[in-house]
A and B are shown apart, each in its own frame.
Chain A
Amino acid sequence: MSAIEDLVTELSRLPTIGKKSALRLTYHLLKQPPEQSRRLAQVLGTLTERVRLCERCFNLTEEQPCTICKDPRRDAATICVVEEASDIAAVERTGEYRGVYHVLGGRLSPLDGIGPDELTVTALVQRVGAGGIREVIVATNPKLEGEATALYVQEQLSSLGVLVSRIALGMPVGGDLEYADGVTIAQAIASRRQMR
């Protein structure tokens, strides 16, 4: 296999990159000064060497524990459980949450070969069981797999005496009732809250 084919094959393994895009990127790199490609290769090498999973929350980090876990201004008694490390960035963008996180590494999806043993639920149970945790907020995605994962997490934590809550599900902010689908409206009604 040629060097060009090698790179096209590797690039096309990336999400959203098909064979055509991979070929386009390969020719783009070949047109650039060699230094730029070397720099890219170096950065990729450094990335895999330096970035690890946080041993406490399984976030991606270059230091142990990660910056969120070791930040003394954060509320270490509240854990937000998310599916992927990228979900942390989404919650952080809100600027509303000051607790810490736990990354499950996916969601239950037996059809894709992901069962409880493929997730970090046991580590979460051990973390909560060690004490000092007041609340666990389960923020898995509001799909059936996400709900199954949330209920499994809740079941595993049920005997540990901590408050387990679920992020609210329902109408999106700025959405129109008229255009929402029936399942979303039903969820919103089921998750309604009292107005004070």
Chain B
Amino acid sequence: MRLLESDSLVLHSFDYRETSRIVRIATRDAGVLSVIARGARRPKSPFGSAIDLFTSGVAHVRVNPARDLHTLTGFDATRSRSELAGSLARFTAASAVAELCLRFANEDDSGRVHDAATSVLDAIGVATPDDVPAIALAGAWRVVAELGFAPSLDQCATCHADLVADEPVTFDHRAGGALCARCARLGPRGRLFPAEARETLRAWLDGTESALGDSSTRRAHQRLLREFLEEHLADGKPLRAFATWEAQSFSHAPAEHA
């Protein structure tokens, strides 16, 4: 049993029994951890609102190496992110990024997930609804890159031949990125990947901003990311927050006057 004190971000939490909550946090020093906050649902709980979704703070955790569930003994909140509840676009995008971190991360990522997720959530929090998809997609791909899963864009993912920069290619999720024409012919599995889309994705992976055009481009990028994650997530469970994010983008305008 050891004590851990680390900068952390609340990625998910749910009720456990009558008075407790189970919280999944991205820590800077121990990756993503599941912790139990005993008594957190009591009206006078010392946790208060500190362990609300997407809150940053310093977590005090009693780590039990023999178990997957550790004990949260305290959480000093330093930043709540109420602005993420300000629109459905922000909230669903932030949830999709959190889901990505929860599903991909492990306990040995040197704080990369924590730092990347924190900066993405901050960027989503100040984005206008129209800018949210591009910012969230850029952030999600950055998290993917930090975890070492970045797709190959400039070399063929199969034979490593250099690809011409401004030509459409085939993107094969299973191979892990773009394919040269020869490899694409040998394994016809991928989807067409226009040059502009490759350029946008390259910019996002480099940490540079790149706006998205119309809604169909946005939708195509959301689908590309989801398919890529589904291919590389071994557990086969559906990406529920991603599905909600994609559905939300196209179907929930305010009601018209009766």
Q: How far is the CA of A159 from the CA of B95 in the complex (A)?
A: 27
Write out, one digit per residue, whether chain B residues 75-115 have a CB within 8 A of any chain A CB (1) or not (0). 00100111011111001100110110010000000000000
Chain B hits for A109, CB < 8 A: 95
Chain A hits for B137, CB < 8 A: none
B80, A148: Cβ atoms closer than 8 Å: no
Chain A hits for B235, CB < 8 A: none
User: Is the C-beta of A30 less than 8 angstroms from some C-beta in chain B?
Assistant: no
Chain A hits for B228, CB < 8 A: none
- Chain B: interface residue total (CB-CB under 8 A): 44
Chain A hits for B55, CB < 8 A: 183
User: Is the C-beta of A147 less than 8 angstroms from some C-beta in chain B?
Assistant: yes
B12, A111: Cβ atoms closer than 8 Å: yes
Q: A116 — nearest CB in chain B belongs to which residue?
A: B252
Q: How far is the CA of A142 from the CA of B54 in the complex (A)?
A: 14
* Interface residue from B47, B77, B81 paired with A144 (Cβ < 8 Å): B81
Of the listed stretches B140-148, B179-187, B192-200, B236-244, chain A binds B236-244
A115, B255: Cβ atoms closer than 8 Å: no
A144, B52: Cβ atoms closer than 8 Å: yes
Q: A130 — nearest CB in chain B belongs to which residue?
A: B258
Q: How far is the CA of A187 from the CA of B49 in the complex (A)?
A: 11
Q: How far is the CA of A157 from the CA of B102 in the complex (A)?
A: 34
Chain B hits for A158, CB < 8 A: 254
User: Is the C-beta of B48 less than 8 angstroms from some C-beta in chain A?
Assistant: yes
Q: How far is the CA of A181 from the CA of B77 in the complex (A)?
A: 8
A124 to chain B, nearest CB (A): 10
Chain B hits for A129, CB < 8 A: 255, 258
Q: How far is the CA of A107 from the CA of B29 in the complex (A)?
A: 32
* Interface residue from A111, A125, A130 paired with B241 (Cβ < 8 Å): A111
Chain B residues 126 to 170 lying within 8 A of chain A, measured CB to CB, are none
B255, A181: Cβ atoms closer than 8 Å: no
A110, B96: Cβ atoms closer than 8 Å: yes
Chain A hits for B50, CB < 8 A: 181, 183
User: Is the C-beta of A145 less than 8 angstroms from some C-beta in chain B?
Assistant: yes
A19 to chain B, nearest CB (A): 13
Q: Which of B12, B14, B77, B88: most chain A CB closer than 10 A?
A: B88
A186 to chain B, nearest CB (A): 8
B77, A110: Cβ atoms closer than 8 Å: no
* Interface residue from B18, B54, B87, B102 paired with A16 (Cβ < 8 Å): B18
User: Is the C-beta of A112 less than 8 angstroms from some C-beta in chain B?
Assistant: yes
Chain B hits for A110, CB < 8 A: 91-92, 95-96, 99, 240-241, 244-245
Write out, one digit per residue, whether chain A residues 101-112 have a CB within 8 A of any chain B CB (1) or not (0). 000000011111
Chain B residues 38 to 94 lying within 8 A of chain A, measured CB to CB, are 43-44, 47-50, 52-55, 77, 80-82, 84-88, 91-92
Q: How far is the CA of A185 from the CA of B93 in the complex (A)?
A: 28
B247, A147: Cβ atoms closer than 8 Å: no
Q: How far is the CA of A175 from the CA of B81 in the complex (A)?
A: 24
A48 to chain B, nearest CB (A): 24
**Other CB < 8 Å A-B pairs besides A115-B243, A117-B247, A160-B257, 13 of them?**
A110-B244, A111-B99, A113-B238, A144-B52, A144-B53, A147-B82, A151-B85, A151-B87, A151-B88, A155-B87, A156-B254, A159-B255, A183-B55
| 26 CB < 8 A contacts A-B | A16-B17, A108-B91, A110-B91, A110-B92, A110-B99, A110-B241, A111-B99, A111-B240, A113-B238, A113-B243, A115-B247, A130-B258, A131-B258, A143-B49, A143-B53, A144-B53, A144-B54, A144-B80, A148-B84, A151-B88, A152-B88, A152-B252, A156-B254, A160-B257, A172-B43, A181-B77
